[in-house]
Structure 1
Amino acid sequence: MRFPLFLLPLLLVLLCVIPGFAQTYAVNGIISSTDNGEPLAGATVSVPALQAGSLTNEKGAYTLQLPAGTHTLQVSYLGYQPISRSIRVSNSGTTINLALQPVSSQLQEVEVETNTLRQKLNDTRMSVEKLSSREAKLLPALFGEIDLIKTLQLKPGVQSGGEGSSGLYVRGGGPDQNLVLLDGAVIYNPSHLFGFFSVFNPDAVKSVELYKGGFPAQFGGRLSSVLDVDMNEGNNESIHTSGGLGLISSRLTVEGPVIKDKATFTISGRRTYVDVFTRQINKWSEGKEDYNPIPDYYFYDLNGKFTYKLGANDQLYLSGYYGRDFFNFDNNGFKFGFNWGNTMAALRWRHKYNPRLYANTTLSATSYQYTIKNEFDVFSLDLTSAIRDYSLKTDYDLFVDGGHSIRFGAMATYHGFTVGKLNTYNGDSLTIGAGSNYKAAEFGVYAADDYQVNARLSLNYGLRLSGFGNSGKVYMGLEPRASAKYNLSETVSLKGSFASMMQYIHLVSNSGASLPTDIWYPSTRYVKPQRSQQVALGVSKLFGNGRFLLTNEVYYKWMHRQIDFRNGANLFLNDSLESEFLFGKGRSYGNEVYLEKTKGKTTGWIGYTLSWTERKFDMEDNTEDINGGNWFPARYDRRHDLNVVVLHKLSKRLSLTGVFVFSTGDAYSMPVARFAFQDVEGEDAAVVPIYLRRNGFRQVSYHRLDLGAVLKLRPKHGEADLTFSVYNAYNRRNPYFVYIEQRKDEGDGRILGFQAKQVSLFPVVPSVTYNFKF
Structure 2
Amino acid sequence: MPLTRYLLFICFILLSSAGFAQRYTVSGIVRSATDSQPLIGATVAVPELKTGASTDTRGFYTLSLPAGSYQLQVTYIGYQPYSQTITVNSSAQTIAIALQPTENKLQEVIVETNSLEQKLNDNRMSVEQLSSREAKLLPALFGEVDLIKTLQLKPGVQSGGEGSSGLYVRGGGPDQNLVLLDDAVIYNPSHLFGFFSVFNPDAIRNVELYKGGFPAQFGGRLSSVLDVRMNRGNNEKIGVNGGIGLISSRLTIDGPIKKDKATFLISGRRTYVDTFTRLINKVNKDKKDYSPIPDYYFYDFNARLDYKPTPYDEISLSGYFGRDFFTFNDAGFSFSFNWGNTMGALNWRHTFNPRLFVNTSLSATGYEYNINNKIDVFSFNLRSDVQDVTLKTDFEWRPAEKHTIKFGAAGIKHGFTVGRLNFDSDDDLQNFSAGNTYQATEFGAYLSDDFQLNAQLSLNYGLRFSGFNSQGKTYTALEPRAAARYSLSTNTSLKASYASMMQYIHLVANSGASLPTDIWFPSTPRVKPQRSQQLALGVSHLFGDGKYLITNELYYKWMHRQIDFRDGANVFVNDSLENEFLFGKGESYGNEIYLEKIKGRTTGWLGYTLSWTYRQFDEINDGRRFPTRYDRRHDISLVLLHKLNKRLHLTGAFVYGTGNAFSLPVARFPLQDVQGKEPGIVPIYSDRNSFRLQASHRLDLGAVWKLKPKRGEADLTFSAYNAYNRRNPYFVYFEQMRDDEDQTIGFRAKQVSLFPVIPSVTYNFKF
Cα deviation for residue 311 of structure 1 reads 0.8
**Greater Cα offset, 229-238 or 70-79:** 70-79
Matched, 1:656 2:650: yes
1:379 and 1:394 mapped to 2: Cα distance? 50
Aligned to 1:767: 760
C-alpha distance 398-151 of structure 1, shift in aligned 2 (>3 A): same
Letter in 1 for 2:568: G
C-alpha distance 680-351 of structure 1, shift in aligned 2 (>3 A): closer
1:297 and 1:575 mapped to 2: Cα distance? 32
**Greater Cα offset, 364-373 or 446-455:** 446-455
Secondary structure, aligned partner of 1:514: coil
Aligned to 1:21: none
Contact 2:157–2:170 at 8 Å: present in 1 too?
A: yes
**Greater Cα offset, 144-153 or 280-289:** 280-289
Contact 1:363–1:392 at 8 Å: present in 2 too?
A: yes
Matched, 1:451 2:451: yes
Matched, 1:352 2:351: yes
Cα deviation for residue 674 of structure 1 reads 1.1
1:729 and 1:130 mapped to 2: Cα distance? 27
Where do 1:510-529 residues align within 5 Å? 510-529=510-529
2:398 and 2:269 mapped to 1: Cα distance? 41
Aligned to 2:29: 33
Contact 1:47–1:71 at 8 Å: present in 2 too?
A: no
Aligned to 2:502: 502
Secondary structure, aligned partner of 1:130: strand
Cα deviation for residue 451 of structure 1 reads 0.8
Letter in 1 for 2:750: K
Secondary structure, aligned partner of 1:710: strand
Letter in 1 for 2:529: P
Matched, 1:55 2:50: no
Cα deviation for residue 336 of structure 1 reads 1.2
Letter in 1 for 2:94: A
Contact 1:28–1:401 at 8 Å: present in 2 too?
A: no
2:30 and 2:332 mapped to 1: Cα distance? 65
Contact 2:554–2:592 at 8 Å: present in 1 too?
A: yes
Secondary structure, aligned partner of 2:730: strand
Aligned to 1:91: none
C-alpha distance 600-481 of structure 1, shift in aligned 2 (>3 A): same
Contact 2:666–2:686 at 8 Å: present in 1 too?
A: yes
2:288 and 2:350 mapped to 1: Cα distance? 68
Q: Deviations over 1:142-201 (max 9, x none)?
A: 110100000000000000000000000000000000000000000000000000000000
Secondary structure, aligned partner of 2:489: coil
Where do 1:221-260 residues align within 5 Å? 221-260=220-259
Letter in 1 for 2:483: S
**Greater Cα offset, 633-642 or 674-683:** 674-683
C-alpha distance 660-431 of structure 1, shift in aligned 2 (>3 A): same
Matched, 1:722 2:720: no
Where do 1:20-169 residues align within 5 Å? 31-33=27-29, 41-48=41-48, 52-56=50-54, 58=56, 72=70, 74-78=72-76, 82-85=83-86, 99-103=94-98, 116-169=115-168
Aligned to 1:288: 287
Alignment partner for residue 701 of structure 1, among 672, 687, 695? 695
Cα deviation for residue 720 of structure 1 reads 0.6
1:197 and 1:375 mapped to 2: Cα distance? 29
2:295 and 2:112 mapped to 1: Cα distance? 43
2:370 and 2:553 mapped to 1: Cα distance? 43
Matched, 1:666 2:660: yes
Letter in 2 for 1:447: L
Alignment partner for residue 734 of structure 2, among 724, 735, 740? 740
Secondary structure, aligned partner of 1:203: coil
C-alpha distance 363-677 of structure 1, shift in aligned 2 (>3 A): same
Secondary structure, aligned partner of 1:149: helix
**Greater Cα offset, 495-504 or 483-492:** 483-492
Taking only aligned residues, the RMSD between alpha carbons, in angstroms, comes to 2.9
1:189 and 1:72 mapped to 2: Cα distance? 50
C-alpha distance 641-106 of structure 1, shift in aligned 2 (>3 A): closer
1:107 and 1:237 mapped to 2: Cα distance? 19
Contact 1:237–1:260 at 8 Å: present in 2 too?
A: yes
Secondary structure, aligned partner of 1:103: strand
Secondary structure, aligned partner of 2:292: coil
Aligned to 1:544: 544
Alignment partner for residue 641 of structure 1, among 627, 635, 639? 635
Cα deviation for residue 281 of structure 1 reads 1.6
Aligned to 2:16: none
C-alpha distance 636-589 of structure 1, shift in aligned 2 (>3 A): same
Secondary structure, aligned partner of 1:176: helix
Aligned to 2:593: 593
Letter in 2 for 1:433: S
Aligned to 1:568: 568
Aligned to 2:219: 220
Cα deviation for residue 75 of structure 1 reads 4.5
2:507 and 2:113 mapped to 1: Cα distance? 36
Matched, 1:204 2:203: yes
Letter in 2 for 1:668: F
Where do 1:275-674 residues align within 5 Å? 275-401=274-400, 403-427=402-426, 429=428, 431-618=431-618, 625-674=619-668
Contact 1:393–1:412 at 8 Å: present in 2 too?
A: yes
1:516 and 1:351 mapped to 2: Cα distance? 39
Cα deviation for residue 84 of structure 1 reads 4.0
C-alpha distance 355-459 of structure 1, shift in aligned 2 (>3 A): same
Letter in 2 for 1:437: T
**Greater Cα offset, 643-652 or 509-518:** 509-518
Letter in 2 for 1:697: F
Secondary structure, aligned partner of 1:143: helix
Aligned to 2:17: none
2:553 and 2:2 mapped to 1: Cα distance? 19
Contact 2:67–2:87 at 8 Å: present in 1 too?
A: no
Secondary structure, aligned partner of 1:385: strand
TM-score by length of 1: 0.91
C-alpha distance 498-105 of structure 1, shift in aligned 2 (>3 A): closer
Contact 1:31–1:40 at 8 Å: present in 2 too?
A: no
C-alpha distance 113-284 of structure 1, shift in aligned 2 (>3 A): farther
* Percentage identity across paired residues of the two chains: 64
Contact 2:28–2:97 at 8 Å: present in 1 too?
A: no
1:292 and 1:104 mapped to 2: Cα distance? 58
C-alpha distance 687-473 of structure 1, shift in aligned 2 (>3 A): same
Letter in 2 for 1:688: V
C-alpha distance 224-580 of structure 1, shift in aligned 2 (>3 A): same
Cα deviation for residue 685 of structure 1 reads 1.1
Contact 1:73–1:87 at 8 Å: present in 2 too?
A: no
Cα deviation for residue 261 of structure 1 reads 1.2
**How many matched pairs?**
741
Cα deviation for residue 335 of structure 1 reads 1.7
Contact 1:30–1:399 at 8 Å: present in 2 too?
A: no
Cα deviation for residue 322 of structure 1 reads 0.3
Q: Deviations over 1:224-263 (max 9, x none)?
A: 0000000001100100100000110000000101111110
Cα deviation for residue 743 of structure 1 reads 1.5
Aligned to 1:750: 743
2:457 and 2:515 mapped to 1: Cα distance? 44
Cα deviation for residue 290 of structure 1 reads 2.0
C-alpha distance 413-114 of structure 1, shift in aligned 2 (>3 A): farther
Secondary structure, aligned partner of 1:284: helix
1:313 and 1:57 mapped to 2: Cα distance? 18
Matched, 1:173 2:172: yes
C-alpha distance 146-738 of structure 1, shift in aligned 2 (>3 A): same
Letter in 1 for 2:748: Q
Cα deviation for residue 681 of structure 1 reads 1.2
Matched, 1:710 2:704: yes
Contact 2:174–2:512 at 8 Å: present in 1 too?
A: no
Cα deviation for residue 293 of structure 1 reads 1.7
Secondary structure, aligned partner of 2:320: strand
1:445 and 1:280 mapped to 2: Cα distance? 55
2:62 and 2:99 mapped to 1: Cα distance? 26
Secondary structure, aligned partner of 2:741: coil
Letter in 2 for 1:756: A
Aligned to 1:621: none
